[in-house]
Amino acid sequence: MGNRSIASLAALIAALALAGCTATPPRATDTTLYQRLGGQTAIAAVVDDTITNISADPRINARFRNSDTLRLKNGLVELLCDRTGGPCTYRGRNMADAHEGMRIRDDEFDALVDDLVRALDQHRVPAREKDELLALLGRMRNAITDH
């Protein structure tokens, strides 16, 4: 897969990775998901572990074999930071355009989600934050798969 394919999957991973970046419960009802996840450092840690999980996952690791790991990580962190209410601005392409022509199957999307969930669990992200992050990712599914 080319860099375009990798960037598209990276955006997906980023969205997933944001779901659980901290084990700290919310302190106030008006905190953002970004804050409850632990901010950019926590999100980056989850993204790192998600990428590690993907690299070891025979269901999808071939999709990422030729990817620029640093670029993938940075894009995913930026996407998750932005979509969870953090101070970042995602500058990548929209999900549909980024994944156009990649023909990502539902089972591949699900494998990526599994790898993200493993990373979230490794970081002991609470259920509420994990569910909110996965819901964000779920809303991107149709823009990512079957193009």
**Domain housing 123:** 3-24+32-144
Main-chain dihedrals φ then ψ at residue 26, nearest 5 degrees: -65, 145
Closest CA to 18 of 139, 99, 108, 144: 139
Contact at 8 Å (CB) between 102 and 5?
A: yes
pLDDT in tens, 35-74: 999 999 999 999 999 999 999 999 999 999 999 999 999 9
The per-residue pLDDT for range 124-136, each reduced to its tens digit, is 999 999 999 999 9
Q: How many domains does the chain have?
A: 1
Return the residue matching tokens 């071939």: 62
For residue 86, give the CATH number of its domain. Answer: 1.10.490.10
**Over pLDDT 90: what percentage of the chain?**
77
Q: Cα(33)–Cα(72) distance, rounded to whole angstroms?
A: 22
Instruction: Give percent above pLDDT 70 in the chain.
Output: 80
